[in-house]
Chain A
Amino acid sequence: MEERIRTVLASFEGKRNDLIPMLQAVQDELGHLSDTAMKEIASYVGMPESKVYGVATFYSQFYFEPRGEHEIKVCLGTACHVTGGLQIVDAMERELGVKCGGTTCDQKFSLERVNCVGACAIAPVVMVDDDVYGRLEAKTVKEVLEKHAP
């Protein structure tokens, strides 16, 4: 793994202001930012690893655990909120057996809540990877999941 990280880092000069692009590039390669990856980045940039972690954890775009094959985003923007988005969250968490922010044991799904995906007309909405599912109800959640993991 260290090899892969170093290969990605080699295209950077190691300047501090490249830190976020470096974090992004390494996440693109590995799917998430492991402790090892952040240590490598820290030593490459010459800053304490705690600082790299501090920067990475500030942004919601970075993940610290391996991600599932499919990314589920349950929308909780205003429209989804008032049309029962929270029930969808509950149903997803129940079906998958993980809390928001988690990944299923079989590494199939990662679950997240987001604020508005821009499809308010069909609220409540869930996105699985690039597919959008609208007007969901708690009981139809299972069907959505089965489409992606038959």
Chain B
Amino acid sequence: MFSLTINGIEVMAKEGMTVFEAAEKAGIYIPTLCHHEDLSTFGACRVCMVEADGSLVTACRAPVEEGMVVRTDSPEVRQVRLSNVELILANHNQDCQTCDKNNNCKLQEVSAFVGVTPERMQSMRRFVKDEPVDDSNPFFYRDQTKCIMCGICIRACEEINGVGAIDFAFRGYETSVSVLGNKPIYDSRCESCGECVERCPTGALAVKDQSIAEREVKSTCPYCGVGCGVTLGVRGEEVVSVRGTRDHPVNHGELCVKGRYGFEFINHPERLTSPLVKKNGAFEEVSWDEALDLVADKLSGYREQDGADSLAGISSARCTNEENYLFQKLFRMAGTNNVDHCARLCHAPTVAGLATAFGSGAMTNSIADIEEAAAFFIIGSNTTETHPVIGYRVRRARKKGAALIVADPRSIPLAEQADVHLQLLPGTNSALLLAMAKVIVQEKLYDDAFVADRCEEFDEYIEALESVCLDELADITAVPKEKIIQAARIYAENTPSTILYAMGITQHSHGTDNVLALANLAMLTGNMGKRGGGVNPLRGQNNVQGACDMGALPNVFPGYQSVISPENRRKFEEAYGVELSGEPGLTLTEMFKGAGTGDIKALYVMGENPAMSEADTGEVKEILEKTEFLVVQDLFLTETATYADVVLPAASFAEKDGTFVNTERRIQRVRGVINPPGEARSDLEILCDLAGRMGMSGFDFSGPEDVMEEIASLVPNWAGVSYQRLNGDGLCWPCTDEADPGTPILYTERFLREGGRAKFSPIVYGPPQETPDENYPLIFTTGRVLYHFHTGTMTRRSRGLNALHDRERILMNPVDAENLGLNAGDTARVISRRGEVTVEVKPAPQIKEGTVFMTFHFAEACANVLTNTELDPASKIPELKVCAVRVEPA
């Protein structure tokens, strides 16, 4: 610690601190325009000048010294500061009255503080660059006439997001903040995350058409599984702004374009405002009484007549934990375990695979410690687009020197920065992972001690590994053997190494094997139970982890307590006061089969759009059409809802209280800030009302907090959870009692399997169910983009997001496109054994020859018309990532 005096006050400061930081700590204000606490020091504005030991220095760059004497207010300091601010003002557009940042402008604040006078302003040269406002981005303006060259936007782009879309260009007076080629920002690599806009001290970067919020409330982002803290700004009954919550442990105020700007869906005119019942083929608005009585009568009727297993419910990874809990409670109390949700289409293999290997099917580490990894192995996850805020962390760690291995059939943005990019053929993940394990074992790079102390069945695993041949495996994946060896060495030789994965691993007919292969790698190298390590499935939806935790699964009660176990059943029977079924129910994919054969009479879909997200949607739509009684509960009249007999209008995340669980198992609060539109109600209210009408008791809750109490009493891993405790940073489960601070990192001491050890599982490579042939010569694979979310029900209702990505285009290698005679912008028919879509072509060198890529965001050209319904036997996930197609000019 150093002791120095600032303006005569003694201040203690740590070595390495700057004068600026020491003063701030002591509560002494030093004006600045280019300094930002989140960013590296720049020292451009010269406004933070102070006198230190008699000479003038910039406080933001001057390190503290023992005995230093600092004055921030001497006549000389004042004069220099004033001159520097006046120099900035001389070239600044002074049209403050019409500026969006008026009264919220750092330059105004600093000018007032340093004492700029009206007389001086009058006498100043008013010469402003003649540059038009760049309004090409749908969410913000760039007005160079208001730019003061502080460089905060440039540093935010590079240091927070990591993309580096903007920088200073040109020289001297001409200097400006520019993208490559001085083009509009729309034509650049800008990801529209708004980190620069949020920090711009003047009106140079300002949000378009933003009303000022009357009040702000902290909540949780409703998009991906990262679970960023958001602060919703509200004016009347409208959400008018979203900011990242600065003190939030997940995102520290950072957001992506969807989270920050994609909230138009909340107050969208197409929101459902009244229950609808289909009469004579057309929807009619009806009262809640009529709609719910009809649903209750029908469900009770089928239950009487055809048995409880003729009912099936699809719960929602978009809804809160409390709602998922009640949903499964309602169906289980009705006597069936036919409850599932869209995790079946994303991380069912994770739940199955990681539970087998470690004892629990969730992300092992926390988002906060990802940045501490020495090496990243990212496989089947386009992290920067699908989990952007985790992507920022990966890019930052990479910049700080972490090694990066990317395995993906596409050259995704992170692949550009990788040490090794393993561009494998879709569906050959397990071959690649086996090959890496083979190298690690052959070269004795594994962690003997960890394997001996904490794992079991290693010998069986090694024996199985002996029979595989590295060259053969490399041939299967189409990745050069040398690259696989290099990747294996990087992964094994760096400590800690972390694995991040997503749908590229799971959506296969061998999804569970893929997950087990990843678990094997992490066990081999001892990368478990420590900071910066682990096996980390990145979950796609805001509450898909919670929906699983809450037992919206056919084989387990809440808390993964198997329905087969008589003991578990007794526990829940006691709590629910009715007899429960011990027969595991149907999975989502099986429910559709059942509805097709007529075994399922009534299907209840809450906040889910299977008509677009299921494999082979053509068949799904036929089944939905045929289903005797279909209830859909949603925000909008989705593709699925059009087939419904009854549509119930639900409240969005901004209109209700509850909790979500993010991908790192953090249970977080969601807070209602406005009322639902029209007669829409929260899913919780709807479910409780319906249960009452079906004659069930145990649904008279005063609100979600009450439901959480019941959950905590039944789920051991959540026993210590209460709303009061969730008010701060939330809690990572397991949290077993009120004193338990939660568990950000799993398995630090022992694994959750019986005996406490992790288990190696020998696996064999199996090819995808459909491989290219003469008639269908191309491999078709699917994914998502940064600007849209899943089936697009929310993001496609944002004009801005649509402006950034407005239509579906099939991506194919330029060589394939040329061979087929297709140019950019041409329309093509894409045909699989299950259906065909017509879509625009975009040649993209990022795509491997022989493969093509589409997203499932766009109803008018939905990838899932084509995808394969073949299932992974262990987890029943369809093989959404690989099928064979033929592309023809349309």
Contact = CB atoms under 8 A, between A and B. Distances in A.
B167 A51 contact: yes
Contacts of A42: 180
B403 to A, nearest CB: 14
B188 interface: yes
B181 interface: yes
Given A43-B416, A48-B158, A50-B164, A57 B170 contact: yes
B568 interface: no
Interface string B513-542: 000000000000000000000000000000
B188 to A, nearest CB: 7
A147 B170 CA distance: 34
Q: How large is the interface on A (under 10, 10 to 19, 20 to 34, 35 or more residues)?
A: 10 to 19
Nearest to A39: B180
Nearest to A35: B181
A141 B878 CA distance: 76
A59 B170 CA distance: 8
B171 interface: yes
A1 to B, nearest CB: 14
Interface in A40-77: 42-43, 46-54, 57-59, 64
B127 interface: no
A37 to B, nearest CB: 11
Contacts of A46: 417
A38 interface: yes
B417 A54 contact: no
A54 B181 contact: no
Contact of B178 (A35, A48, A50, A59): A50
B417 A48 contact: no
B178 A54 contact: yes
B134 to A, nearest CB: 14
B189 interface: yes
Contact of A64 (B166, B181, B189, B417): B181
Contacts of B165: 48, 50
Contacts of B178: 50, 53-54, 57
A17 B416 CA distance: 20
B40 to A, nearest CB: 15
A14 to B, nearest CB: 13
Given A53-B169, A57-B171, A58-B170, A48 B181 contact: no
Contact of A38 (B163, B171, B180): B180
B416 A53 contact: no
Q: How large is the interface on B (under 10, 10 to 19, 20 to 34, 35 or more residues)?
A: 10 to 19
Nearest to B187: A35
B179 interface: yes
Nearest to A47: B164
A48 B180 CA distance: 9
A42 B188 CA distance: 14
A38 to B, nearest CB: 6
B189 A54 contact: no
B166 A50 contact: yes
A43 B178 CA distance: 18
A54 B169 CA distance: 4
B168 interface: yes
Interface in A16-46: 35, 38-39, 42-43, 46
B411 to A, nearest CB: 11
Nearest to B188: A50
A51 B171 contact: no
A57 B169 contact: yes
Contact of B181 (A43, A53, A59): A53
Given A35-B181, A38-B180, A39-B180, A49 B189 contact: yes
A47 B416 CA distance: 10
Given A39-B180, A48-B158, A49-B180, A54 B416 contact: no
Contacts of A58: 169-171
A121 to B, nearest CB: 30
A51 B170 CA distance: 11
Which of A49, A51, A53, A59 has the most chain B CB atoms inside 10 A of its CB?
A53
A64 B239 CA distance: 45
A54 B164 CA distance: 12
A54 B158 contact: no
B414 to A, nearest CB: 13
Nearest to A54: B167
Which of B164, B168, B180 has the most chain A CB atoms inside 10 A of its CB?
B180
Interface in B600-626: none
B401 to A, nearest CB: 13
A65 B619 CA distance: 54
B180 A35 contact: yes
A43 B418 CA distance: 12
Nearest to A38: B180
B167 A53 contact: yes
A53 B171 contact: no
Which of B165, B167, B179, B188 has the most chain A CB atoms inside 10 A of its CB?
B167
A49 B168 CA distance: 12
Contacts of A47: 164
Nearest to B165: A50
Nearest to A60: B171
Contacts of B170: 57-58
Interface in B397-418: 416-417
A89 to B, nearest CB: 19
B97 to A, nearest CB: 33
B416 A48 contact: no
Contacts of B189: 48-50
A52 B168 CA distance: 10
B177 to A, nearest CB: 9
A74 to B, nearest CB: 20
A43 B166 CA distance: 16
A64 B417 CA distance: 26
A50 B171 contact: no
Contacts of A54: 167-169, 178
Interface string B138-174: 0000000000000000000010000111111111000
Nearest to B172: A58
Contacts of A59: 171
Contacts of A52: 180
A16 B171 CA distance: 21
A53 B171 CA distance: 12
A42 B167 CA distance: 13
A103 B167 CA distance: 27
Contact of B167 (A39, A50, A64): A50
A100 to B, nearest CB: 14
Contacts of A38: 180-181
Which of A35, A43, A48, A58 has the most chain B CB atoms inside 10 A of its CB?
A48
Contacts of A48: 158, 163-165, 167, 189
Contacts of A64: 181
B144 to A, nearest CB: 15
A24 B180 CA distance: 17
Nearest to A53: B180
Contacts of B182: 53, 57
B119 to A, nearest CB: 37
Contacts of B181: 35, 38, 53, 64
A100 B10 CA distance: 60
Interface in B281-310: none
A39 B845 CA distance: 14
A102 to B, nearest CB: 15
27 contacts: A35-B180, A35-B181, A39-B180, A46-B417, A47-B164, A48-B164, A49-B180, A49-B189, A50-B164, A50-B167, A50-B178, A50-B180, A50-B188, A50-B189, A51-B167, A52-B180, A53-B167, A53-B169, A53-B179, A54-B168, A54-B178, A57-B169, A57-B178, A57-B182, A58-B170, A58-B171, A64-B181
Interface of B: 158, 163-171, 178-182, 188-189, 416-417
Interface of A: 35, 38-39, 42-43, 46-54, 57-59, 64
Given A50-B165, A54-B169, 7 more contacts: A39-B180, A50-B188, A50-B189, A51-B164, A53-B169, A53-B181, A57-B170
Closest 6 CB pairs between A and B? Answer: A48-B164, A54-B167, A50-B167, A57-B169, A49-B180, A35-B181
